[in-house]
Chain A
Amino acid sequence: MRDVHDDTEPLDRGTLDALAGAAGRVEDAGVRWEALAARITAAAELPLARRRGGWQRTAARWSGRMLPLAAAAGLLLAVGIALAPARETGLVLEEVMAVAASDGLGADYVGLEAQDAFLSTMLNGGE
Chain B
Amino acid sequence: MVDDAELVERVRRGDREAFGGLVQRYQRRAFAVAWRFLRQREDAEDVVQESFLAALDKLDSFDATRPFGPWFLRIVANRSMSQLDRARVRATDPLHEEIAPASGGVEADFDRGETAALVRDALAELSERQRLVMQWHELDGLATAEIAEALGITESTVRWTVHAGRKALRERLLARQEGPDA
CA distance A101 to B41 in the complex (A): 102
- Whether A37 contacts B27 by the Cβ 8 Å rule is yes
Task: State whether the Cβ of B115 lies closer than 8 Å to any Cβ in chain A.
Answer: yes
For the complex, would chain B's binding face be called helix, strand, loop or mixed by DSSP majority? Answer: helix
Closest CB in chain B relative to A98 CB, distance in Å: 64
CA distance A26 to B27 in the complex (A): 13
- Whether B35 contacts A27 by the Cβ 8 Å rule is yes
CA distance A22 to B134 in the complex (A): 12
Interface on B for A, CB 8 Å cutoff? 11-16, 19-20, 23-24, 27-28, 31-32, 35-36, 39, 41, 45, 48-49, 52-53, 56-57, 99-102, 104, 106-107, 109-111, 113, 115-120, 123, 131, 134-135, 138-140, 155-156, 159-160, 162-163, 166-167, 169-170, 173
A8/B16 contact (C-beta < 8 A), A3-B156, A36-B27 known = no
Residues of A within 8 A of B139 (CB): 16, 19-20, 23, 25-26
Closest CB in chain A relative to B126 CB, distance in Å: 10
Partner of A26, one of B36, B111, B123, B162: B36
- Whether A43 contacts B113 by the Cβ 8 Å rule is no
Interface on A for B, CB 8 Å cutoff? 3, 5-6, 8-11, 14-28, 30-31, 33, 36-37, 39-41, 43-45, 47-55
A5/B160 contact (C-beta < 8 A), A26-B139, A37-B23, A48-B14 known = yes
A43/B49 contact (C-beta < 8 A), A11-B169, A21-B113 known = yes
Residues of B within 8 A of A14 (CB): 115, 173
- Whether A31 contacts B31 by the Cβ 8 Å rule is yes
- Whether B52 contacts A40 by the Cβ 8 Å rule is yes
- Whether A28 contacts B31 by the Cβ 8 Å rule is yes
Residues of B within 8 A of A47 (CB): 53, 56-57
